[in-house]
Structure 1
Amino acid sequence: MKRGIGSAPCHHGELLQGVFLDGQGERRAGLVTLPLDAHGTRAEFLPRPGGAIEVVPHDRTKALRAAVLTRDLCADRLQAEPCGGELRLLGDVPVGLGMGSSTSDVIATVRAVADAYEVALGPAEVARIAVRAEQACDPLMLDGRPRLFAQRDGRVIEEFGARLPALIVVGCALSGGRPVDTLALPSLGDEQIHVYEQLRALFRRALKTGDRALVGRVCTASARLGQRRLRHPDFDALTAVAARSGALGVQIAHSGCVAGVLFDPASPGVHRRLRLCSRELERAGLPATRTFSTLPASVPVPASPYEESFHGRAHRRGDRPAGSGTSRRAAPVPAVRDHEGRLRARRRTPSA
């Protein structure tokens, strides 16, 4: 066996989440995530004799479960003895904000262990392991195409097409960046399934026709429905900022506090709108965290004067929020922003 390497991205919350009907007419919790390519987890698996697997940092219990499940699957497939080893995780996914940090850990782990065994696992197999490891998972084992994904079943309910329409997102965090214990939230009610199915149909139409305004309306409606569970006290402030800055709408993480204000990059005065949005978020106590786009990386995104990026080793021991299988807490958003400001200041300072 060899040293195994794996990686996985994260996301910026959801565009749509609710209860939907699958192809057999069964009700399934489902979501459509907003991809974010700038962050992710990198896993390294170092095989060694014996059956025990250790993980560094030691609190990554979900990743450890994923490592054991993947090790056992690969060993059984090769008719080999299960090995032990050390799993090392590094990443820059902000934790506790609903950006899929746990799933990113798990998928990177699965890929690293499978790589050590030189066993190819398809997305469906990776998804099944991820669900077993953390009860529900985000569709980070798939590519960035928009899909309605059943997070508790680890399978796709509907494919919406090749890509999202062009959007610019000004990110922020609600509730002061406080983490959300996902498993403690009340379940989505089946009584609203007709509403979610209507939003699904509108989202499908919006992507088929490239209607960015309709995408914004669907995302905002989904976010409002999510408020029945999340109850962010500053959600109304977020939507007010979006209205004042001429945005298409808002999106939020339905299992965290990350949020985004959505803009049409082709709208008149988009640079001015982005600057206004960042200023208004500051005034509302919702500091802008990152401006990014669903456009290809080769297309430049208009910069905001308040733009911040989440970089650095966000995965540190003691960073996960409390909840099943996790024991870390997230740094408050202002602390992240101060750290990034110091990094930029150092880069601007000429060396002696």
Structure 2
Amino acid sequence: MAGPGSRAEFVRRPGTAPRSLTVTPADRRKAARAAALAVGECAHAAGLPPSGGELRLTGDVPVGLGMGSSTSDVIAALRAVGASYGVRMAPETVARLAVRAETASDPLMLDDGRPVLFAQREGRVLEVLGPALPPLVVVGCTLGGGAPVDTLSLPTADVDDSDVRAWERLRGLLRRAVATGDAALVGEVATASARRGQLILRHAEFETLCSVARRSGAVGVQIAHSGAVAGVLFDPAATGLRHRVRRCLHGLRAHGIPTTRTFTTSPTIPAKELLDGPAHRRGDRPAGPDTARRPARMPALRNDEGGLRARRGTPPARHGGGTAR
């Protein structure tokens, strides 16, 4: 999902002790650990003495919903420290340091967009499933009223041979779905995965979510493995897509499930065009700097800072510091 992200700026203080690091906001402890690890790695690579510095973080990823806010902060911090030393770390190095900083990491450091099976506690790719997921339309929502989930307090599931066989079956189905571009099969795998996740998460609205998805002609549902953010998945090639999506939105709201934003997984298929039809170009007035902006049709998840403008990437270091998104 394009939009939400984290931005970090790191300013080195040469001559200070490597552990003399300050971070703003002060509660971003995982990002602070990541910065300390990156200082040692990047200083060695650059042939410079390690030093302390100041890390500043900003962003608009909601916390505690399973959207990867901590990993976004950690990766931004790692890239910022690297930029301040003039070092661009390989994704494999970023993954290794991210796991050390936060125990388990999302694969956000992988920029090529390919779907992978990622060992989150090891920081390595086990399998590249294919070039891209089939295009999907996602109606986003939050369960539990959007309350954050304390993932560290969640119980650990007991795993036996039957679980391993079930996961391997889902892995095979997902591999086939990616190879054949089968959106319905992706939805089947996502729903099965979400259902197994309920053994830990136990969202009260899960069955309601599945029921709304079935009645609106969706291919399945997805739920964050460590939070409350969810989505209803549609095949963009399905007939009557706009009617299906609107029926889904109505059904979710009727059951008190807050909706967030509707988006597509394909950058070449804008959600607005799918839901509103293709734009009419004849007679359109070119947008100028004073053209009024129309409000978005779908509300978006926001934190107190608002906005959905942060983008990923690593611009060059400036004024002895570094930034990363």
Provide TM-score, normalisation by structure 1. Answer: 0.76
Residues of 2 paired with 1:67 and 1:271: CA distance? 45
Residues 24-63 of structure 1 aligned to structure 2 (within 5 Å): 36-49=1-14, 50-51=16-17, 52-63=20-31
Distance 1:228 1:164, change over 3 A: same
1:217 matched to 2:188? The reply is yes
Equivalent in 142, 165, 181 of residue 194 of structure 1: 165
Q: Which has the larger radius of gyration?
A: 2
Describe the superposition over 1:186-232 as per-residue Cα deviations: whole angstroms up to 9, x where unpaired.
23433111000000000101111111111111100000000000001
Distance 1:186 1:314, change over 3 A: farther
Paired letter, 1:103: T
Equivalent in 224, 236, 242 of residue 265 of structure 1: 236
Residues of 2 paired with 1:226 and 1:125: CA distance? 30
Partner of 1:97: 65
Partner of 2:316: none
Residues of 2 paired with 1:76 and 1:256: CA distance? 37
The alignment partner of 1:39 has SS state of coil
Paired letter, 1:296: P
Asked if the contact 2:62–2:303 (Cα under 8 Å) also holds between the matched residues in 1, the reply is no
How many Å apart are 1:79 and its aligned residue? 3.5
Residues of 2 paired with 1:300 and 1:214: CA distance? 21
Residues of 2 paired with 1:184 and 1:300: CA distance? 36
How many Å apart are 1:298 and its aligned residue? 5.6
Partner of 1:146: 115
1:155 matched to 2:127? The reply is no
How many Å apart are 1:77 and its aligned residue? 2.5
Residues of 2 paired with 1:137 and 1:238: CA distance? 27
Asked if the contact 2:173–2:185 (Cα under 8 Å) also holds between the matched residues in 1, the reply is yes
Residues of 2 paired with 1:87 and 1:209: CA distance? 45
Equivalent in 87, 101, 110 of residue 133 of structure 1: 101
How many Å apart are 1:46 and its aligned residue? 1.1
Describe the superposition over 1:174-194 as per-residue Cα deviations: whole angstroms up to 9, x where unpaired.
111121122222234331110
The alignment partner of 2:4 has SS state of strand
Partner of 2:142: 173
Partner of 1:277: 248
Asked if the contact 2:262–2:271 (Cα under 8 Å) also holds between the matched residues in 1, the reply is no
Provide TM-score, normalisation by structure 2. Answer: 0.83
Residues of 1 paired with 2:298 and 2:88: CA distance? 40
Q: More deviation in 279-288 or 305-314?
A: 305-314
Partner of 1:289: 260
Describe the superposition over 1:241-280 as per-residue Cα deviations: whole angstroms up to 9, x where unpaired.
1011110000000100000000011101000111111111
The alignment partner of 2:84 has SS state of helix
Asked if the contact 1:279–1:306 (Cα under 8 Å) also holds between the matched residues in 2, the reply is no
Residues of 1 paired with 2:94 and 2:157: CA distance? 25
Asked if the contact 1:42–1:108 (Cα under 8 Å) also holds between the matched residues in 2, the reply is yes
Describe the superposition over 1:262-313 as per-residue Cα deviations: whole angstroms up to 9, x where unpaired.
0011101000111111111001110210101011156344348962113465
Asked if the contact 2:34–2:101 (Cα under 8 Å) also holds between the matched residues in 1, the reply is yes
Distance 1:235 1:300, change over 3 A: closer
Residues of 2 paired with 1:121 and 1:285: CA distance? 45
Partner of 1:308: 299
Residues of 2 paired with 1:78 and 1:96: CA distance? 36
How many Å apart are 1:314 and its aligned residue? 4.9
Identity of aligned residues (%): 56
Residues of 2 paired with 1:56 and 1:111: CA distance? 16
Paired letter, 2:5: G
Of the two structures, which has the highest relative contact order with CA contacts closer than 8 Å and spacing of 6 or more? 2
Asked if the contact 2:11–2:55 (Cα under 8 Å) also holds between the matched residues in 1, the reply is yes
Asked if the contact 1:91–1:313 (Cα under 8 Å) also holds between the matched residues in 2, the reply is no
* Unmatched 5+ stretches in structure 1: 1-35, 316-352
The alignment partner of 1:268 has SS state of coil
Residues of 2 paired with 1:291 and 1:281: CA distance? 13
Partner of 1:81: 49
Describe the superposition over 1:124-175 as per-residue Cα deviations: whole angstroms up to 9, x where unpaired.
1000110000000000000221001000000001101111101000000111
How many Å apart are 1:37 and its aligned residue? 1.9
Paired letter, 1:78: A
Residues of 2 paired with 1:293 and 1:300: CA distance? 6
Distance 1:298 1:209, change over 3 A: closer
Paired letter, 1:195: A
